[in-house]
Structure 1
Amino acid sequence: MGIRQLDHVGVIVSDLTAAVAFFVEFGLELEGRMTMESDLADRITAVGQAKSEIAMVRVPGGDGRLELIQYLTPESHPGDSHAPANTLGLRHLAFQVDDIEGVLDRVRPHGGTLVGEVVNYEDTFRLCYLRGPDGIIIELAEKIG
Structure 2
Amino acid sequence: MTIQRMGHVGIVVEDLAAATAFFVELGLELQRKGSVEGGWVDRVVGLKGVRADFAIVQTPDGYGHLELTHYHAPASPTSDPNAPANAPGLRHVAFAVEDINAVVAGLHDRGTELVGELERFNDSYVCYVRGPEGIILELTERIG
TM-score category, normalised to shorter length: over 0.9
Query: Match of 1:43, SS?
Result: helix
Q: Displacement of 1:101 after TM fit?
A: 2.1
Q: Matched residue pairs, number?
A: 144
Q: Displacement of 1:88 after TM fit?
A: 1.1
Query: Match of 1:24, SS?
Result: helix
Separation in structure 2 between the aligned mates of residue 14 and residue 110 of structure 1, nearest angstrom: 19
TM-score (norm 2): 0.94
Any runs of at least 4 consecutive aligned residues in structure 1 with deviations exceeding 3 A, and if so which?
A: 108-111
Match of 1:128 in 2: 127
Kindly indicate whether the alpha-carbon contact (under 8 Å) linking 1:100 and 1:141 is maintained by their aligned counterparts in 2. Answer: yes
Letter of the 1:112 partner, please give it: T
Match of 1:139 in 2: 138
Query: Match of 1:31, SS?
Result: strand
Higher mean C-alpha deviation, range 51-60 or range 76-85: 76-85
Q: Displacement of 1:57 after TM fit?
A: 0.2
Query: Match of 2:21, SS?
Result: helix
- Alpha-carbon RMSD across the aligned residues, in angstroms, is 1.3
TM-score (norm 1): 0.93
Match of 1:55 in 2: 55
Identity of aligned residues (%): 46
Which consecutive residues of structure 1, in runs of 5 or more, have no partner in the other structure? Answer: none
Letter of the 1:141 partner, please give it: T
Kindly indicate whether the alpha-carbon contact (under 8 Å) linking 1:25 and 1:107 is maintained by their aligned counterparts in 2. Answer: no
